[in-house]
A and B are shown apart, each in its own frame.
Chain A
Amino acid sequence: MNRIGRLQLAAFQPVILALALVVIMAIAGIITPGFLTFRHFKMVLYCNTMLGILALAQTVVILSGGIDLSIGSTYWITIMTGALLMVDKGFVTGSIVCILLGAAIGALNGIGISKLKIPYVVMTLAMMIILTGTLYVTTGGGGRGRAATELIRLSSGRVFGFPIITLVWILLTLLFYILLRMTAFGWKVRALGSNISACHCSGINISRIQTGVYMISGTLAAVAGLFYLGWARTPYPTFQSGAGVGANIMLQSIAAVIIGGTMFSGGRGGVGRTFLGVLVLAVLFSILSMAGLGVEWQIMLNGVIILAIVGLHSRVKLH
């Protein structure tokens, strides 16, 4: 495997992706008038804000060499908890509790992985299963609780015509861009994803970074959850019998990261790329639904794109 070549190609991926995006949008614009309007674009971004925030969180985790399989269930448990709490306790308390909950779940993930040395796949998988169970048990199916009016206003509110939550997503992306490139923490995260033994030998505090990364993930999932709650008002989680709540959006968050070009090992990549990845997914889905194709096609497309991207990254070994 010519890894040198792989790394160099990966460097160009955002450019290729951006170009592909422009081409796709151009074609779509020709076929469907109204596609290339700013209004449509805003709507596409708005619909995918939640996915965007989750993908952002997942990027940080993947850069550190891990993965958060529980992000989808953290997202949903925040939604349900928020809905239940906000009925009595109102917006502020509800939000704070939810965000703390997200951080706490992340912290638990982080501790399990760093102190108890449970492999991240197992830990986040187990967490996802536990959270799913907790969700079923405590809420039994949704349709309970309601978002606070302030939250509803937030999720549908606009600033200079631009949806607030989408702005938040973009701001968060910028924030993490800076964090990952200009702070010691950010670089240590990338070092961790590249070679954990070297970090250990060099005295980097691996526990702190891992816990931090998963707490970031949990907290962002909670934020995304709150935004969703404000939009849906009363939640009806999609129970995929046994597969775990939120599995779908979790997998999509990973897909967006991959499509964006952040690699699973090596600590290379970044949030800007993931943003592009989400855009590509969003535009493609938008095209599909306008063409009248159902969910199945979207899901299939997810798969095809992932395979295509990674296939391009690789070099065929000829024998």
Chain B
Amino acid sequence: MADDRLRKFVLDWYIYIVLVVFWIVSSSISPFFRTMSTFSTIFVSAVPIALVGLGQTFVVLSRGFDLSVGVVASLATAIASVTMHWGIGPSIGLILVVSCAIGMINGLGVSKLGIDSFIMTLGMMFLLTGVTLLIRPSPGGFIPVNFKRFLLYQVGEFPLVPVLILFLTGCVGVLVLQKRRFGREIYAVGGDPESAKMSGVDVDRTRIKVFMVSALSAACAGLFVSARIGSGNAEAGAPYLFDSFTAVFMGGTLVTGGIGGYRGTIASALIIASIGHILQFLGITIWYHFIVKGLLLAGVAGLQLFVVSRERNR
């Protein structure tokens, strides 16, 4: 019995074990890593990844892919950079409305038109990339200082607001998926969409909601990034597309949907954010982190499948 509980614990929390081990190993290798300032930067870098990861987790769980998250984030920075001089509130409002609309269109295409989510969001991605470039052909624009200061507010070395955002996102993500009807319906739709439909789940509505969540969270990520870089940039969101998938898959959500959750995603976000730093401190050029990220993704995903198939055969 204790053996089973241990096994279950490891399966659920393995990514946190990886994270902690990673931090411990990094800290012992490099004195620079051990500083508060490093961890502070890690947390701050992790916020946008965690945010796009939230939306992507929902989408992948429902058996889909959202390729438009990167460009939605970029679009958010672009819109922010040209509208924030009217006022932070209206600007944010506009961004949220636009991203809701984008999500809804994605969701409608996937559910009502039956378009494969990969293709639908691919098309949307192309479309929005063009739009973003039209709004913001080169980096620039205006992001109010208050906005920056608020989102990056630190107490001493500790990045209070970013960590708060991480915490809140984590709570929302995990609780909605585990304890709200919407969340359970996502698992149903991803696990067996035909059965879900037969059992009375409104599969179409669930899918639409899922893509709306994805676009919204990507927009929030974009807002945070705009605060960080202090401007709008059509390429700002691009890295987050692949990072979102990396975070989702590393975090234990299966690409086939129906299994996984946000708990792992958020830890993966922290790992991804940490990788760049440790390599920097080791004197390795920042580009190596690509390789490490790639290997990590393949390795963890493979391990995950191996374990899942072992579990299934018990």
Contact = CB atoms under 8 A, between A and B. Distances in A.
Interface of A: 1, 112, 116-119, 121-123, 125-134, 136-137, 140, 240-244, 251, 254-255, 258, 264, 294-307, 310-311, 313-317
Given A122-B298, A303-B125, A264 B112 contact: no
Interface string B1-20: 00000000000000000000
A108 B241 CA distance: 24
Contacts, number: 173
Contacts of B70: 243
Interface residues of B, number: 55
A307 B120 contact: yes
Contacts of B111: 317
Given A129-B290, A242-B239, A303-B128, A295 B115 contact: no
Interface stretch (B81-89, B143-151, B281-289): B281-289
A61 to B, nearest CB: 14
Contact of A118 (B109, B133, B290, B305): B305
8 contacts: A1-B114, A121-B255, A127-B298, A240-B238, A264-B116, A296-B129, A296-B131, A300-B129
B130 interface: yes
A238 B148 CA distance: 31
B297 A264 contact: no
A127 B309 CA distance: 23
Most B CB atoms within 10 A — which of A118, A264, A315, A316? A118
Contacts of A303: 122-130
Most A CB atoms within 10 A — which of B120, B130, B238, B309? B130
Interface in B127-186: 127-131, 133-134, 137
Nearest to B240: A242
Contacts of B134: 296
A117 B116 contact: no
Contact of B294 (A116, A126, A240, A251): A126
Contacts of B116: 264, 310
B24 interface: no
B289 to A, nearest CB: 7
Interface of B: 65, 70, 109, 111-116, 118-120, 122-131, 133-134, 137, 204, 235, 238-243, 245-246, 249, 255-256, 285, 287-295, 297-298, 301-302, 305-306, 309
A194 B158 CA distance: 53
Interface of B is mostly: helix
B129 A299 contact: yes
Given A264-B118, A296-B134, A126 B288 contact: no
B109 A311 contact: yes
Contacts of A307: 109, 115, 120, 123-124, 127
A1 B123 CA distance: 21
Most A CB atoms within 10 A — which of B115, B131, B287? B287
Contacts of B249: 122
A244 B291 CA distance: 11
B127 A242 contact: no
A301 B128 CA distance: 10
B113 A119 contact: no
B253 to A, nearest CB: 11
Nearest to A311: B113
Given A118-B302, A133-B294, A306-B123, A297 B309 contact: no
A130 B294 contact: yes
